[in-house]
Amino acid sequence: MEAYPKIIKTLIEQLKKLPGIGTKSAERIVEFFLKMEKDELLSLSENIKRLKDEVMLCKNCLAISDSEVCGVCRDTSREKKLAIVEEYKDALALEKAGFGGKYHILGGRINPLEKIGPEDLSISRLLERLEKEEFLEIIIATNPTPEGESTAMYLIELLKKYNYPVSRLATGIPVGSEIEFVDPETLKKSIEHRFKP
Protein backbone atom coordinates (compact mmCIF):
# COMPACT_ATOMS: atom_id res chain seq x y z
CA MET A 1 0.00 0.00 0.00
CA GLU A 2 1.31 3.45 -0.92
CA ALA A 3 1.72 5.81 2.00
CA TYR A 4 0.14 8.82 0.26
CA PRO A 5 -1.65 9.63 -2.97
CA LYS A 6 0.55 11.25 -5.63
CA ILE A 7 -0.79 14.79 -5.04
CA ILE A 8 0.07 14.62 -1.34
CA LYS A 9 3.58 13.31 -2.08
CA THR A 10 4.10 16.16 -4.53
CA LEU A 11 2.86 18.74 -2.03
CA ILE A 12 5.09 17.31 0.72
CA GLU A 13 8.12 17.57 -1.60
CA GLN A 14 7.23 21.18 -2.44
CA LEU A 15 6.78 22.13 1.21
CA LYS A 16 10.15 20.57 2.11
CA LYS A 17 11.80 23.24 -0.05
CA LEU A 18 10.67 25.89 2.46
CA PRO A 19 13.27 26.90 5.07
CA GLY A 20 13.09 24.87 8.27
CA ILE A 21 10.55 22.39 6.88
CA GLY A 22 11.50 18.71 6.88
CA THR A 23 9.45 15.67 5.90
CA LYS A 24 7.55 15.40 9.20
CA SER A 25 6.68 19.10 9.26
CA ALA A 26 5.57 18.97 5.62
CA GLU A 27 3.34 15.97 6.38
CA ARG A 28 1.75 17.83 9.32
CA ILE A 29 1.13 20.91 7.16
CA VAL A 30 -0.58 18.78 4.47
CA GLU A 31 -2.69 17.07 7.15
CA PHE A 32 -3.68 20.54 8.40
CA PHE A 33 -4.60 21.58 4.83
CA LEU A 34 -6.82 18.50 4.54
CA LYS A 35 -8.70 19.52 7.70
CA MET A 36 -9.21 23.14 6.56
CA GLU A 37 -12.50 24.31 5.10
CA LYS A 38 -12.36 24.43 1.31
CA ASP A 39 -12.90 28.21 1.14
CA GLU A 40 -10.05 28.81 3.64
CA LEU A 41 -7.70 26.63 1.61
CA LEU A 42 -8.70 28.35 -1.63
CA SER A 43 -8.12 31.74 0.00
CA LEU A 44 -4.65 30.60 1.14
CA SER A 45 -3.74 29.35 -2.34
CA GLU A 46 -5.05 32.57 -3.94
CA ASN A 47 -2.95 34.69 -1.58
CA ILE A 48 0.15 32.63 -2.40
CA LYS A 49 -0.53 33.22 -6.09
CA ARG A 50 -1.10 36.95 -5.51
CA LEU A 51 2.24 37.13 -3.68
CA LYS A 52 4.10 36.78 -6.98
CA ASP A 53 1.71 39.05 -8.88
CA GLU A 54 1.43 41.92 -6.39
CA VAL A 55 4.61 42.03 -4.30
CA MET A 56 7.81 43.54 -5.65
CA LEU A 57 11.02 45.15 -4.50
CA CYS A 58 11.07 48.92 -4.00
CA LYS A 59 13.08 50.51 -6.82
CA ASN A 60 14.91 52.77 -4.31
CA CYS A 61 15.73 50.67 -1.26
CA LEU A 62 14.87 47.10 -2.39
CA ALA A 63 12.40 46.58 0.46
CA ILE A 64 9.45 44.27 -0.08
CA SER A 65 6.58 46.44 -1.26
CA ASP A 66 3.19 46.35 -2.96
CA SER A 67 4.12 49.38 -5.10
CA GLU A 68 7.10 50.50 -7.19
CA VAL A 69 8.27 52.79 -4.36
CA CYS A 70 7.68 51.61 -0.77
CA GLY A 71 5.94 53.66 1.92
CA VAL A 72 9.17 54.43 3.76
CA CYS A 73 10.82 55.87 0.64
CA ARG A 74 7.68 57.93 -0.14
CA ASP A 75 7.46 59.33 3.41
CA THR A 76 8.96 62.84 3.28
CA SER A 77 8.69 63.26 7.07
CA ARG A 78 11.35 60.61 7.80
CA GLU A 79 14.78 61.64 9.07
CA LYS A 80 17.54 62.22 6.51
CA LYS A 81 19.49 59.20 7.75
CA LEU A 82 20.17 56.07 5.71
CA ALA A 83 20.66 52.68 7.36
CA ILE A 84 22.39 50.14 5.13
CA VAL A 85 21.25 46.63 6.08
CA GLU A 86 21.90 43.14 4.76
CA GLU A 87 18.31 41.93 4.45
CA TYR A 88 14.74 43.24 4.63
CA LYS A 89 14.21 41.59 8.02
CA ASP A 90 17.08 43.73 9.39
CA ALA A 91 15.25 46.88 8.26
CA LEU A 92 12.11 45.61 10.00
CA ALA A 93 14.09 45.08 13.23
CA LEU A 94 15.47 48.65 13.08
CA GLU A 95 11.98 49.97 12.37
CA LYS A 96 10.60 48.17 15.44
CA ALA A 97 13.45 49.67 17.49
CA GLY A 98 12.28 53.17 16.51
CA PHE A 99 14.68 54.12 13.71
CA GLY A 100 13.04 56.96 11.79
CA GLY A 101 15.26 57.23 8.72
CA LYS A 102 15.35 55.37 5.43
CA TYR A 103 16.93 52.07 4.44
CA HIS A 104 19.00 50.48 1.74
CA ILE A 105 18.91 46.69 1.53
CA LEU A 106 22.06 45.04 0.19
CA GLY A 107 20.47 41.66 -0.44
CA GLY A 108 23.15 39.80 1.51
CA ARG A 109 26.76 40.26 2.59
CA ILE A 110 30.19 39.73 1.09
CA ASN A 111 31.12 36.08 1.60
CA PRO A 112 34.04 34.72 -0.48
CA LEU A 113 33.40 31.14 0.73
CA GLU A 114 29.95 31.26 -0.89
CA LYS A 115 31.32 33.21 -3.88
CA ILE A 116 29.33 36.35 -2.98
CA GLY A 117 31.26 39.48 -3.88
CA PRO A 118 30.38 43.18 -3.83
CA GLU A 119 29.03 42.91 -7.38
CA ASP A 120 26.40 40.43 -6.15
CA LEU A 121 24.95 42.97 -3.71
CA SER A 122 23.00 46.15 -4.45
CA ILE A 123 26.05 48.36 -3.83
CA SER A 124 26.02 49.96 -7.30
CA ARG A 125 22.37 50.85 -6.72
CA LEU A 126 23.32 52.36 -3.36
CA LEU A 127 25.95 54.58 -5.02
CA GLU A 128 23.42 55.72 -7.64
CA ARG A 129 21.04 56.57 -4.83
CA LEU A 130 23.67 58.62 -2.98
CA GLU A 131 24.12 60.72 -6.14
CA LYS A 132 20.38 61.53 -6.22
CA GLU A 133 19.28 61.74 -2.57
CA GLU A 134 20.69 63.78 0.27
CA PHE A 135 21.31 62.33 3.73
CA LEU A 136 22.71 63.78 6.93
CA GLU A 137 24.22 60.46 8.01
CA ILE A 138 24.82 56.96 6.71
CA ILE A 139 24.56 54.17 9.28
CA ILE A 140 26.12 50.86 8.34
CA ALA A 141 23.93 48.29 10.07
CA THR A 142 25.40 45.00 8.91
CA ASN A 143 25.42 42.04 11.27
CA PRO A 144 28.38 41.62 13.67
CA THR A 145 29.50 38.42 11.93
CA PRO A 146 32.85 38.06 10.10
CA GLU A 147 31.02 38.47 6.76
CA GLY A 148 29.00 41.43 8.05
CA GLU A 149 32.18 43.06 9.37
CA SER A 150 34.01 42.64 6.05
CA THR A 151 30.98 44.05 4.22
CA ALA A 152 30.98 47.03 6.59
CA MET A 153 34.72 47.64 6.07
CA TYR A 154 34.24 47.49 2.29
CA LEU A 155 31.37 50.00 2.48
CA ILE A 156 33.29 52.35 4.81
CA GLU A 157 36.18 52.45 2.34
CA LEU A 158 33.83 52.95 -0.61
CA LEU A 159 31.89 55.75 1.08
CA LYS A 160 34.98 57.83 1.90
CA LYS A 161 34.62 59.76 -1.37
CA TYR A 162 31.17 61.01 -0.32
CA ASN A 163 30.73 63.88 2.12
CA TYR A 164 28.43 61.98 4.45
CA PRO A 165 29.20 61.18 8.09
CA VAL A 166 29.34 57.39 8.29
CA SER A 167 28.66 55.46 11.50
CA ARG A 168 28.26 51.83 12.55
CA LEU A 169 25.82 50.22 14.92
CA ALA A 170 27.41 49.79 18.33
CA THR A 171 28.24 46.26 19.42
CA GLY A 172 28.74 44.98 22.91
CA ILE A 173 27.03 43.77 26.05
CA PRO A 174 23.31 43.08 25.58
CA VAL A 175 20.94 45.04 27.81
CA GLY A 176 19.97 42.99 30.87
CA SER A 177 23.00 40.70 30.83
CA GLU A 178 25.79 40.39 33.37
CA ILE A 179 29.45 40.93 32.50
CA GLU A 180 30.62 37.60 33.96
CA PHE A 181 28.43 35.71 31.47
CA VAL A 182 29.40 37.70 28.36
CA ASP A 183 31.71 35.93 25.89
CA PRO A 184 35.25 37.37 25.55
CA GLU A 185 34.79 38.60 21.95
CA THR A 186 31.64 40.57 22.83
CA LEU A 187 33.34 41.97 25.92
CA LYS A 188 36.33 43.00 23.80
CA LYS A 189 33.98 44.84 21.39
CA SER A 190 32.28 46.53 24.35
CA ILE A 191 35.61 47.84 25.62
CA GLU A 192 36.61 49.03 22.13
CA HIS A 193 33.29 50.82 21.58
CA ARG A 194 32.90 52.27 25.06
CA PHE A 195 31.41 55.75 25.37
CA LYS A 196 31.64 58.62 27.81
CA PRO A 197 28.39 59.25 29.73
Q: What is the mean pLDDT of residues 94-114?
A: 95
pLDDT at 99 over 80: yes
**Tell me, what's the pLDDT at 175?**
78
For 80-94, 97-111, 116-130, 165-179, which range has the lowest pLDDT when averaged over its residues? 165-179
pLDDT-derived band of residue 3, with 50, 70 and 90 as boundaries?
A: confident
Q: CA-CA distance, 101 to 56, in Å (whole number)?
A: 21
Alpha-carbon Rg for the chain in angstroms: 22
Percent of the chain with pLDDT over 70: 97
Q: CA-CA distance, 93 to 146, in Å (whole number)?
A: 20
**Tell me, what's the pLDDT at 197?**
60
pLDDT digits (tens, 9 = 90+) for 19-46: 999 999 999 999 999 999 999 999 999 9
pLDDT at 65 over 90: yes
How far from the centroid of its chain's Cα atoms is residue 102's Cα?
Answer: 14
**What domains can be seen in the chain, in order of their start residue?**
6-54 (1.10.8.420), 64-192 (3.40.1360.10)
**Tell me, what's the pLDDT at 46?**
93
**Closest alpha carbon to 137 in 106, 170, 162, 171:** 162
> What letter would DSSP give residue 93?
H
| Average pLDDT, rounded, for the chain | 91
Percent of the chain with pLDDT over 90: 77
Q: Nearest-5° angle of CA 40, CA 42, CA 43?
A: 65
Q: CA-CA distance, 35 to 53, in Å (whole number)?
A: 28
pLDDT digits (tens, 9 = 90+) for 173-191: 777 878 788 788 888 877 8
pLDDT at 144 over 80: yes
pLDDT digits (tens, 9 = 90+) for 160-176: 988 889 999 887 777 78
**Tell me, what's the pLDDT at 52?**
86
**Tell me, what's the pLDDT at 155?**
96
CA dist 139 → 74, 101, 132, 192 (Å):
20, 10, 18, 18
How far from the centroid of its chain's Cα atoms is residue 116's Cα?
Answer: 16
| pTM (whole model) above 0.85 | no
**Closest alpha carbon to 88 in 111, 112, 66, 58:** 58
